[in-house]
C-alpha cells in the first residue's frame, strides 16, 4: 500500500511539473504581451502618429512594464507639437497609466 501512495505522489508531482512547464511564458506569449502593451500605451497616450519604444520589463514582483510613447499632440492649440509620454503597463491587471515626459 505504501508503494501505491508513493507512486501516486510521484505521478501527481510529474503531472504538476509538466503542466507548469506548459503554461510557462513562451516566445508567442511574450510577443502577445508586447503587442498588447504597445497598443494599450498608444491608446492611453492620446497622441497621434504615436510610436512606442521597446518595453522595459520589471520583475514579476512588481509586474510592470514601462515604455516611452512619442507622437503629436492632437489639440489644436498645441499646433502640431511633438510630445512624449511615459507609459506604465500592468502585465497581470492590464491597467495602463501615462504621464507626460517633460523635456
* Domain of residue 64, residue span: 26-100
Q: Is residue 14 part of a domain?
A: no
pLDDT score, position 2: 55
> Which residues are paired to 67 by β-bridges?
87
Here the contacts of 78-86 (C-beta below 8 Å, separation 24 or greater) are 83/47, 85/41, 85/44, 85/45, 85/47
The predicted-structure confidence for 46-100, as pLDDT tens digits, reads as follows: 999 999 999 999 999 999 999 999 999 999 999 999 999 999 999 999 999 999 9
pLDDT score, position 25: 79
Q: Is residue 21 part of a domain?
A: no
Q: Is residue 1 part of a domain?
A: no
pLDDT score, position 102: 86
The predicted-structure confidence for 2-60, as pLDDT tens digits, reads as follows: 545 544 444 454 444 443 344 457 999 999 999 999 999 999 999 999 999 999 999 99
Q: Is residue 2 part of a domain?
A: no
Q: Is residue 40 part of a domain?
A: yes
Q: Is residue 50 part of a domain?
A: yes
**Which pTM does this prediction carry?**
0.73
Domain count, the chain: 1
Amino acid at each position: 500500500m505504501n508503494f501505491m501512495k508513493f507512486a501516486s505522489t510521484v505521478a501527481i508531482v510529474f503531472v504538476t511539473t509538466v503542466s507548469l512547464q506548459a503554461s510557462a511564458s513562451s516566445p508567442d506569449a511574450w510577443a502577445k504581451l508586447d503587442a498588447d502593451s504597445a497598443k494599450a500605451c498608444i491608446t492611453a497616450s492620446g497622441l497621434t502618429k504615436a510610436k512606442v519604444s521597446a518595453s522595459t520589463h520589471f520583475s514579476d514582483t512588481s509586474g510592470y512594464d514601462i515604455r516611452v510613447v512619442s507622437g503629436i499632440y492632437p489639440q489644436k492649440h498645441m499646433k502640431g507639437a511633438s510630445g512624449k509620454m511615459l507609459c506604465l503597463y500592468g502585465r497581470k491587471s492590464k491597467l495602463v497609466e501615462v504621464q507626460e515626459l517633460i523635456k
